[in-house]
Amino acid sequence: MSIENISNNKAFGGWNKQYTHRSNTLNCDMRFAIFLPPQINTGTKVPALYWLSGLTCTDENFMQKSGAQRIAAELGIAIIAPDTSPRGDDVANDASYDLGQGAGFYVNASQAPWNRHFHMYDYIVNELPELIEQHFPISDQRAISGHSMGGHGALTIAMKNPKRYSSMSAFSPICNPINCPWGQKAFSAYLGADKDAWKEYDSCELMQSATKFIPALVDQGNDDQFLSEQLKPHLLAAAATDKSYPLQLNYHDGYDHSYYFIASFIEQHLRFHTKHFAANNH
């Protein structure tokens, strides 16, 4: 699998780079961003955090707005930020912002016309890590995190693949998509009318049925405009309590849904993942 480098920016002794590649999983060309910390210069493979962004975002939002590179450089963590959906003139789309391109919801679509390209779940779990580990000095130690739609993706992907990730975290995740407007719209389109298929991509449902636990950290702003209608973290907290799941859920007064919130607490998330990378090394 070949990749093409399209940008390079030095940051905190490491490199922020962008690449394009042909995705066989998504049947289109894709772009991702990667931060390579300075520790790669020693010849050591570094662990990786996969960051999944939210609705309307690309690979660039997190890399340009979160300020994560400074702490990642200190801790020796690579960060990989994929795009949020397939892209291209021949890729199905919708006029609204919450369906189609920029709104892949990290599922494998089963319904036409989406099922030709929209297999973001398989892309994130299998194709992209294989590509990354082939081309960069990055180990198979992985953590996963994300924001909003990407927080939903990070939590569901980790819980469905507990052996692949040492920890998971999210900012303002869509916790119960089967019971919120964003999730119901996307799942109806991508997965069809069978609501049992929806449950396979719902954090609350997956947490309730989990048999293997992954350390989880979630941060949520109390002034988030989507809190009550779309995000519903109280339902995730209830599921964690019922299951005794190792979830740390923090609420923060005054913070909203923006990248100002993410930038304020991203350091705690990177240190959380580093702690669990170290624990998995023993």
Catalytically annotated residues: 148, 224, 257
> Do 270 and 49 touch, CB atoms closer than 8 A?
yes
Distance separating alpha carbons of residues 121 and 25, to the nearest angstrom = 10
CA 109 from centre of chain: 17
Please say whether the beta carbons of 218 and 169 come within 8 A: yes
**Quick one: tokens of 126?**
């299998």
In this structure, what token pair is assigned to residue 31? 């772009």
Go through the chain and tell me how many residues it has. 282
Q: What CA–CA distance (Å, rounded) separates 227 from 254?
A: 13
Write b or e for each residue in 182-220: b if 16 or more Cβ atoms lie within 10 A of its Cβ, otherwise e: bbebbbebbbeeeeebbbebbbbbbbeebeeebbbbbbb
